[in-house]
């Protein structure tokens, strides 16, 4: 299993780097769209939609939303507005997680999870397109590296020092010590990134944006874990050998990407 995970992860890293650096904006957008629509298919499963037809309709709804947003990417004010609404939505998701942590027997209505997906799924597409278009491929790769580094930091710190559970009713393996490890790893990478990306005198704000981004990435991970727990499934799908589904790999990024781009707007605008 470990070998399978490593092979799959290595292939994914190569594909991500190639897509970010080599594809033109339209090609990058289409590649992102394929990932998001795969995630939408899995989200429809988490909703509990019973038939292929129902799932295809849900995926089509996500597609229509993204295609409607695509022409608006060149309008900074509209982009900022969409990002603000998305981040506010993730703040609401924190309350959602808190409620479930207190009442783990609660089952959310399928329609509420479906509506949440119509926000969660298009948002990272918008954010990555905006990030690449306005700040360049280097910032896109940095965001990926930021989330991956936080995951690694959380994993090793949790294994070594983990004692206090973060959200036992949602994800029993996560600990506050793991969160601390993610924060320390993020801090180190953010300081290096501030130098390499030539942030200059704004580096303290940039570092804070990175830390907040990782905080929301943990919320994105927990949110998907909550939905899977309600559905009684371990993984969102089986598309990626050793890793489960697409959502299992991008859950952190669904929250991190909009927060990161909105934070950068605050730094540079």
pLDDT for 241:
55
Using a cut of 0.75, tell me whether the model's pTM lies above it.
Answer: yes
**How many Å is the Cα radius of gyration of the chain?**
18
Contacts of 149 (CB under 8 A, 6+ apart): 185, 186, 189
pLDDT for 14:
87
Burial label, 203 (beta-carbon count in 10 A; 0-12, 13-18, 19+): middle
Tokens representing 124 are: 């990272």
pLDDT for 117:
93
pLDDT for 3:
62
CA atoms within 13 A on the CB side of 214: 30
pLDDT for 238:
60
Name the DSSP letter for residue 106: -
Domain ranges of the chain: 2-268
Name the DSSP letter for residue 169: T
Q: pLDDT tens digits, the chain, 269 residues: what are they?
A: 546 667 667 888 888 889 999 999 999 999 999 999 999 999 998 998 888 999 999 999 999 999 999 998 888 888 888 899 999 999 999 999 999 988 888 788 888 999 999 999 999 999 999 999 999 999 999 999 999 999 999 999 999 898 899 988 898 889 999 999 999 999 999 999 999 999 988 999 999 999 999 999 999 999 999 998 888 888 776 665 555 678 888 889 999 999 999 999 877 76
């Amino acid at each position: 299993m470990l070998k399978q995970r490593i092979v799959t992860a290595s292939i994914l890293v190569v594909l991500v780097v190639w897509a970010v650096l080599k594809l033109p904006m339209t090609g990058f957008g289409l590649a992102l769209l394929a990932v998001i629509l795969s995630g939408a298919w899995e989200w429809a499963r988490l909703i509990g939609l019973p038939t292929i037809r129902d799932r295809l309709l849900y995926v089509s709804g996500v597609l229509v939303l993204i295609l409607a947003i695509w022409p608006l990417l060149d309008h900074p004010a509209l982009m900022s507005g969409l990002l603000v609404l998305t981040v506010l939505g993730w703040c609401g998701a924190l309350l959602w997680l808190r409620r479930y942590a207190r009442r783990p027997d609660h089952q959310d209505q399928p329609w509420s999870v479906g509506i949440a997906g119509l926000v969660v799924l298009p948002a990272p597409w918008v954010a990555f397109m905006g990030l690449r278009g306005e700040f360049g491929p280097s910032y896109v790769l940095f965001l990926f590296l930021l989330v991956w580094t936080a995951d690694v930091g959380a994993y090793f710190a949790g294994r070594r020092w983990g004692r206090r559970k973060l959200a036992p009713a949602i994800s029993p393996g996560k600990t506050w010590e793991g969160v601390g490890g993610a924060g320390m790893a993020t801090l180190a990478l953010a300081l290096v990134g501030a130098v390499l990306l030539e942030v200059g005198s704004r580096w303290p704000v940039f570092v804070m944006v990175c830390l907040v981004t990782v905080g929301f990435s943990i919320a994105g991970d927990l949110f998907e874990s909550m939905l899977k727990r309600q559905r009684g499934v371990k993984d969102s799908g089986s598309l990626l050998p050793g890793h489960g589904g697409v959502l299992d790999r991008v859950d952190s990024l669904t929250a991190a990407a909009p927060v990161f781009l909105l934070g950068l707007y605050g730094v540079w605008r």
